[in-house]
Amino acid sequence: MAGSAGIGPFTAVLFDLDGTLLDSFGSIADLTDAALVEAGHPPCDRDILRRLIGLPLEVVFRQVWPFEPTDDDVTRAMATYRATQLANASPTFFPGAADLVTSLRAAGKQLAIVTTKGTPAARRALADSALIDSFGAVVGGDIVPHLKPHPAPAEMALRELGVAARDAVVVGDTTHDIHMGNSAGCRSVGVTWGAHDAATLHGAGAAAVATEMAGLRAILLGDR
């Protein structure tokens, strides 16, 4: 599917961050392992963790813990994860991601980040890449009443941009992104270089799926 004609005209793009723009799985796994090891447990099974990307951090720790954790276990693990995250270098952007963001802005599109990552960490990653000024809204999992796949994060971003849902496209690598976008009334585009494959994303209701950054560029910008 090439060009915005395949998904209809739009004025704004709401991007997921981890696994969509940021090549962050290794970093997420290392942070998860650090929290588990500090609690006296072995590192996580990375195949299991990959399937959990995009879910709230609390859910992730409850799934990777070697036994049923207490609420205090999860709270301490989340605190360790976030402190380590802010103390270390941000993940890098996928090749072509920064150019896509710059091209979308040059084409007059409004942009937002909608992520389960905490807002401070998301803003830091964008600042480290010198992209933060490209985004009119950064909505992290710490400032919304409900997390993906609930539409609340997308709805907050739309309000901050002043854009109607019918004029926006959500781009993400998980079914949680697709469900969030569709539930909010946006069109949703999946990418396969993160957590979920093309069949899974299509099954969740993605209007289009890109298997490489050039394909996403074609969907959003045509031949530009």
Catalytic residues: 16, 18
CA dihedral of residues 98, 102, 104, 109 (deg, nearest 10): 120
H or E element: which one contains 110?
Answer: strand 110-114
**DSSP-derived 3-state class of residue 207:** coil
**DSSP-derived 3-state class of residue 168:** strand
In Å, how far are 51, 149, 179, 199, 200 from 203, measured between CA atoms? 16, 15, 10, 6, 5
